[in-house]
Structure 1
Amino acid sequence: MTAALAEKHGTDAPAADDTPRRPPTRRTKRERAFDDVPRWQIYVPLGLYLIFTLIPFYWMLLFAFRPAGSTSLVPWPMTLDHFSKVWNERSFGIFFQNSMIVGVATLVATTLVALSGGYALARFDFRIKKGFMLGLLCSQFIPGALMLVPLFEIFKNLQLINSLGSVIIAETVFQLPLSIILISGFIKNVPVSLEEAAWVDGCGRFRAFCAVVLPLLRPGLIAVGSFAFVHSWNHFLFALMFLSEQDKQTIPVGLNTLIGADSVDLGALAAGGVVAAVPVVIVFAFIQKWLVTGFSAGAVKG
C-alpha cells in the first residue's frame, strides 16, 4: 500500500518493514513504581549499609598491616610481621592445612550423599517420603551443641577422637538435611522425559543420570558444595570438642588461641582473621553467579 501511494503521488516512499517486532515487555506495578523513586533514596541507604558492612573488614586489615604500637588510621608503612608471626610461630600453616582438608572432604562427602538422596526424593515415591522430608526440615532446628555429648561418645568408641575424620563426619551429617532438600528441588526442575528418552536409547538409570541430568545440576551442586565448604571452614564447635592436639586443630580454634587471659595480640589476631577470610572470599568471588542460581532453583519445588 505504501508503494502504491508513492507511485500515485510520484514520491519515493520507504519500503514497508515486514520484520516481525517483539511485543513490548510487560512491567509489573512494582517495577513501574520503582521508576518514580528518586535515585538518592536508593543509593544513600545502600551506601550507608555498605560502609557499615566494610568498616569491620577495614579495621581488621588496618591492624593486620599496621606496625605494632602504631595508632595511624592508615596502614602505612605496611608490614607483614604479623602474618609471619601467626604463620610460623603460631602454627597457622598447620591450621590452614587442616581446615582445607576438612573443608574439601566435607564438600565432597556432602555433595555425593546429597546428590543420591536428593535424586531418590525427587524421582521415587515411597510410603514415608513426606515424613522423611518433615524430619529433614525439623532437624534444622536442632542446635549442634545438643549433639556434642552423644557424638563425642560415638567417636570415642570408634577411636576417632583427635582425628580430622570426626570433624568431617560431624560436619557432613549436619550439612546433609539442607543439602538434600536443595538438590531434590533442583532435580525436580529437570523434566523426567529427558531421562526417559535416554532409557529408550538403551541407557541404564545411572548412565542416563550421569549423561542427561548431572550436567544440568551444576548450579545446584556448586551451591551445595560451597555452602558445605564455607560452613565447615568457619565452624568452631566441633573442632574445639573433638580435636585437642595442636597439630590437628583448625583455623577457628587457632584464632581462639591468640586470645590470652590478660591480653590480646590484636595484630596477630587480625592477621589470622585475614588468613581465615581469604579462601572464603575467593570461593564466593568465583561462584557467586552459580550460587544464587542454585539456591533459587533448588527452592522452587520441594
Structure 2
Amino acid sequence: MTAAVIDRETAPASAPPAPPAKRRRNRPIDQPPRWQIFLPLGLYLLFTLIPFYWMLLFALREPGSDSLVPWPMTGQHFEKVWNERGFDTYFLNSMYVGIASMLMTMLVALSGGYALARFKFRLRMPFMLALLCSQFIPGALMLVPLFEIFRELQLLNSLWSVIIAETVFQLPLSMILIAGFIRNVPPSLEEAAWVDGCSRLRAFLAIVLPLLRPGLIAVGSFAFVHSWNHFLFALMFLNAQDKQTIPVGLNTLIGSDSVDLGALAAGGVVAAVPVVLVFAFIQRWLITGFSAGAVKG
C-alpha cells in the first residue's frame, strides 16, 4: 500500500490535453466566393459615384480649370447660384412645397389607409384596384385639366397649386403602403383599449400610431423627395421667378447658346444635399416601412 502511494507521487504528471484544433470555417456549398459578391457591388458603386464626383468636381474647381482633382477649391460657383441666381429663394420654395406635401400626404394616407385596413365595405377591393391603376397614369396627361382647375380656383402662380397636385399624385401609393402596415398591428390591441374606455380615435392615437413610425417615415420621405425633385408641375403652374422651385431654377441655368457648368454643378449639389441627408438618417426605417407596407395585405 505504501509502495503504491510512493509510486503514484513520484510518477511524472501526465501531459495536459492538447488544445482542440481550430476548425476551418467551411463556406456553405450554395454561397459563392466573396469576390463574386463584392466585385459586382464595387463596380456598381463606382458607376453610381462617378456622376456625383463629376458634379462635385465642376462645382468646386476654379473656372477654366481642366484638372481632374478639385484643387485648389473654390466656392464662387455656390456663391453665384445662391446670391445671383436666386437659389436661396428656390431652396425655400422647394422646402415649403416638400414639407407641406409630405404632411398632407401622410395625414390623408393615414386616414384612408386605416379605413382600408380596418373596415370591410362592398367596394373595397375595386377601390384598391383603382388606386393601383392610377399609378400607370403619367402626370403629363393631367396637366391641362389641372391647369383649368387651378385657374378657376385662382391658384395659378401659387405654391399651393404644386402642393395639391403633388399630394393627389402621391396619395394612391402612400395609402396602399399605410394600409398594408396597419394590417401588421393586431386589432386586439385596439380592442383592449376600447374595453378600457378609449374611443376609436384615442385608441388609434395611443396604440396604433406609435407602431406606425417606420411606415410613416417611409411614406413621408417618399412624398418629400418626390415633391422636391418634381419639375413638371412647378414649371407649368408657377410663372413668377420668386415662386419657382429648385428643379425649375436648374433649368434656367441652361442657356440656348451656352451652359455655365460650374453654376449648374453647384446648383445640383444644393439640390442633392437635402435628399442625401434625408435618406442617410432614415434608411433603417425606410427599408422596414416599404417592405412591411408592400408585402403584407
TM-score by length of structure 2 reads 0.90
SS state of the match for residue 288, structure 1?
A: helix
User: Structure 1 196/150 Cα, relative in aligned 2: closer, same or farther at 3 Å?
Assistant: same
Provide Cα deviations, 1:207-239, integer angstroms capped at 9, x if missing partner.
Answer: 000000000000000000000000000000000
Provide Cα deviations, 1:44-82, integer angstroms capped at 9, x if missing partner.
Answer: 111111100000000000000000000000000000000
Amino acid at match of 2:167: T
How far apart are 1:42 and its partner, in Å?
1.1
Question: 1:71-82 counterparts in 2 under 5 A?
Answer: 71-82=66-77
Kindly name which structure, 1 or 2, has the bigger radius of gyration based on alpha carbons: 2
- In 2, Cα distance between equivalents of 1:266 and 1:287: 32
- In 1, Cα distance between equivalents of 2:281 and 2:231: 25
Alignment partner, residue 101 of structure 1: 96
- How many percent identity over aligned positions? 81
SS state of the match for residue 295, structure 2?
A: coil
Provide Cα deviations, 1:156-192, integer angstroms capped at 9, x if missing partner.
Answer: 0000000000000000000000000000000001000
- In 2, Cα distance between equivalents of 1:228 and 1:44: 34
SS state of the match for residue 69, structure 1?
A: coil
- In 2, Cα distance between equivalents of 1:104 and 1:191: 31
1:221 has 2:203 as partner: no
1:114 has 2:109 as partner: yes
Q: How many residues align?
A: 271
How far apart are 1:33 and its partner, in Å?
4.2
Instruction: Give unpaired runs (5+ residues) of structure 2.
Output: 1-26
User: Structure 1 224/254 Cα, relative in aligned 2: closer, same or farther at 3 Å?
Assistant: same
Instruction: Give unpaired runs (5+ residues) of structure 1.
Output: 1-30
Alignment partner, residue 212 of structure 1: 207
- In 1, Cα distance between equivalents of 2:172 and 2:287: 19
SS state of the match for residue 299, structure 1?
A: helix
How far apart are 1:32 and its partner, in Å?
4.0
Alignment counterpart, residue 195 of structure 2, candidates 194, 200, 216? 200
How far apart are 1:115 and its partner, in Å?
0.2
Alignment counterpart, residue 271 of structure 1, candidates 258, 261, 266? 266
Alignment partner, residue 44 of structure 2: 49
Alignment partner, residue 11 of structure 1: none
- In 1, Cα distance between equivalents of 2:280 and 2:131: 30
- In 1, Cα distance between equivalents of 2:56 and 2:92: 22
- In 2, Cα distance between equivalents of 1:77 and 1:284: 30
Question: 1:122-161 counterparts in 2 under 5 A?
Answer: 122-161=117-156
- In 1, Cα distance between equivalents of 2:37 and 2:133: 38
Alignment counterpart, residue 178 of structure 1, candidates 169, 173, 176? 173
Amino acid at match of 1:270: A
SS state of the match for residue 212, structure 2?
A: helix
